[in-house]
C-alpha cells in the first residue's frame, strides 16, 4: 500500500465532454478504492458542457475524493496557439506554488508533460502517465531520468519511450485503459434500447462512439457505409468543439449518404444505451497516424468488450495488444472494403459473432479500473520511496 498521499495534477476543465476527463476521474476513483489517499488538482476553468456541475455525478463516481481547482489564465480564444502556451505556463506556476506551500508528504502523478519540469524545482517524487511521446524535446531525457517512474498506456508506447529516451525498462510499466463494469449492470435488451433512443428495429446497426477525427477512422467508416444499402444504419455517437464534425457532415452531404445517423455529443452515462442498441461495434482506427497506430488505448474498446456486442476493429499495433481473432473481427486499417467485409462476416455468421462477443465480455474482466489501480499502486509503492 502506498503510504504517501498522491496528488494527481492535470490542466483540464471539469466536467469536460472529452474522454480524458473520464479516464482521469475513473483512475482517481479506483486509486481511492484501492485504499490510497488521493487528491486531484485541476485548472479553475469555466464549465462549458452545459451539464451538471457535480463532477462526481457527471462521471458516475461513487468513491469521492478531494478536488482542488488552481487559478489559470485562459482569457484568449482557445483557437490561438498563444492561448495554449499562456494557459499551460500559468497552470504550471499555480502548481509550483501550491506544491511549495503544501506541508503534506505526497507524490505527484500526472498526464501533463509540462508538470514533469517540477523535477528540477522540487524533490517530490513525480510519476508520468504517458499517453504519447513527449511533445517537447527540451530537456526530454533529463526530465525522464529525474522523475520516479512512467506508466505507459500501451506496450508499443512503452517500447518507444524506452528506446528513444534511453529509459531503464525497470522504471516504466504498462497499464492499458479500463472499464467500469458496474455501469453495465441492467444493460438493456437491443429492442428496448432502440425504442428508448428512437432507432429503427429493422436495420443492421453499426455503431461508432468517440472522437470525430480522421485518425479515428470515421471517414473510412463513411466510405464503408457508401458500400451498403439502407437496410444498414451507421450510427456515429460523439462530437464536440474543435473536432471534425462539420467536415463529416459535408462529406455525408457530398456523397449523398442516406444510411448515416449522427447523434452529436452524448453524455458518457448515456453512451451505454447506444452500445446496447447496436448489432456491431466498430473501431476503425487509422494506421496512418502515429497516435492511433502506436499510442492509443481507447476507452471505447473496453466498453465495447463489456457490452457483449460483436466488435470489428482495425488491426493496429495497440488494438492487437487487447483484441485477437478469438474476441473480435480484425480488418486491415484504412480499407473501407475490408471493413465492410468484416461487418458482413458478423451479420452472416451469428454463431461466430456470439462466440467473439462473449469471449470479449469475459476477457474484459481483466481490464477494470480497480485492477489497473492495483498495478499502478504497486508500482508507486516500489518507486515512490
The pLDDT of residue 77: 60
Instruction: Give the DSSP letter string of 94-135.
Output: HHHHHHHH--S-EEEEES-GGGGGGGGT--S-EEEEESS--S
Cα four-point dihedral sign 209, 210, 212, 215: negative
What pLDDT, on the 0 to 100 scale, is given for residue 48? Answer: 56
Structure confidence at residue 359 (pLDDT): 98
Q: How far apart are CA 283 and CA 291, in angstroms?
A: 14
165 and 205 fall within a common domain: no
Q: How many domains would you assign to the chain? A: 2
Q: Can you tell me the distance from the alpha carbon of 128 to that of 281, in angstroms, rounded to the nearest whole number? A: 32
pLDDT value of position 1: 62
* Region at 308 (left for phi over 0; alpha for psi -120 to 50; beta for the rest): left
Specify whether 157 is located in the same domain as 204.
Answer: no
Same domain membership, residue 313 and residue 274: yes
Residues 194 and 333 grouped into a single domain: yes
- Residues 239, 198: one domain? yes
Do 25 and 126 lie in a common domain?
yes
Q: Do 152 and 293 share a domain, yes or no?
A: no
Which residues, given as ranges, of the chain have pLDDT below 70?
1, 47-52, 75-81
182 burial via Cβ count (<10 Å: 0-12, 13-18, 19+): exposed
Looking at the fold, whether 171 and 249 belong to one and the same domain comes out as: no
What is the predicted pLDDT for the residue at 343?
98
What CATH number did the domain enclosing 124 receive? 3.40.50.2000
Closest Cα to residue 364, out of 207, 177, 131? 177
Q: pLDDT value at position 52?
A: 56
Provide the 8-state DSSP code for 235: E
Helix (H) or strand (E) holding 217: none
Q: Do 34 and 48 belong to one domain?
A: yes
Q: Does 196 share its domain with 278?
A: yes
> 195 lies in which domain range?
181-366
Q: Which of 201, 195, 204, 246 is nearest to 225 (CA)?
A: 204
Q: State whether 247 and 294 are in the same domain.
A: yes
Give yes or no: residues 307 and 319 share one domain: yes
Amino acid at each position: 500500500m502506498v503510504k504517501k498521499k498522491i496528488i494527481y495534477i492535470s490542466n483540464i476543465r471539469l466536467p469536460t465532454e472529452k474522454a480524458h476527463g473520464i479516464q482521469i476521474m475513473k483512475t482517481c476513483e479506483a486509486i481511492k478504492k484501492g485504499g490510497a489517499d488521493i487528491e486531484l488538482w485541476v485548472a479553475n476553468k469555466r464549465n462549458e458542457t452545459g451539464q451538471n456541475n457535480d463532477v462526481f455525478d457527471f462521471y458516475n463516481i461513487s468513491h469521492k475524493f478531494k478536488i482542488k481547482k488552481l487559478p489559470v489564465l485562459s482569457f484568449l480564444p482557445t483557437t490561438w496557439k498563444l492561448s495554449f502556451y499562456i494557459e499551460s505556463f500559468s497552470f504550471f506556476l499555480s502548481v509550483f506554488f501550491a506544491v511549495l506551500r503544501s506541508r503534506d508528504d505526497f507524490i505527484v502523478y500526472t498526464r501533463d508533460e509540462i508538470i514533469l519540469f517540477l523535477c528540477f524545482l522540487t524533490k517530490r517524487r513525480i510519476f508520468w502517465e504517458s499517453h504519447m511521446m513527449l511533445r517537447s524535446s527540451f530537456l526530454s531525457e533529463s526530465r525522464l531520468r529525474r522523475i520516479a517512474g512512467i506508466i505507459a498506456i500501451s506496450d508499443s508506447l512503452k517500447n518507444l519511450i524506452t528506446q528513444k529516451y534511453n529509459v531503464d525498462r525497470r522504471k516504466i510499466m504498462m497499464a492499458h485503459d479500463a472499464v467500469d463494469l458496474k455501469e453495465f449492470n441492467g444493460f438493456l435488451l437491443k429492442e428496448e434500447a432502440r425504442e428508448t433512443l428512437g432507432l429503427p428495429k429493422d436495420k443492421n446497426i453499426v455503431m461508432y462512439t468517440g472522437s470525430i477525427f480522421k485518425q479515428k477512422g470515421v471517414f473510412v467508416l463513411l466510405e464503408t457505409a457508401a458500400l451498403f444499402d439502407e437496410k444498414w444504419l451507421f450510427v456515429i455517437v460523439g462530437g464536440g468543439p474543435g473536432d471534425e464534425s462539420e467536415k463529416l457532415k459535408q462529406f455525408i452531404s457530398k456523397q449523398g449518404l442516406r444510411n448515416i445517423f449522427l447523434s452529436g455529443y452524448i453524455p458518457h452515462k448515456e453512451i451505454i444505451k447506444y452500445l446496447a442498441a447496436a448489432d456491431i461495434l466498430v473501431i476503425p482506427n487509422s494506421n496512418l497516424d502515429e497516435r492511433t497506430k502506436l499510442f492509443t488505448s481507447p476507452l471505447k474498446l473496453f466498453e465495447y468488450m463489456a457490452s457483449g456486442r460483436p466488435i470489428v476493429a482495425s488491426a493496429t499495433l495497440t488494438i492487437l495488444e487487447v483484441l485477437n481473432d478469438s474476441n473480435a473481427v480484425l480488418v486491415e486499417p484504412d480499407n473501407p472494403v475490408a471493413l465492410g467485409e468484416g461487418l458482413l462476416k458478423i451479420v452472416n455468421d451469428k454463431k461466430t459473432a456470439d462466440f467473439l462477443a462473449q469471449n470479449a465480455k469475459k476477457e474484459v474482466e481483466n481490464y477494470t479500473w480497480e485492477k489497473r489501480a492495483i498495478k499502478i499502486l504497486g508500482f508507486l509503492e516500489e518507486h515512490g520511496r
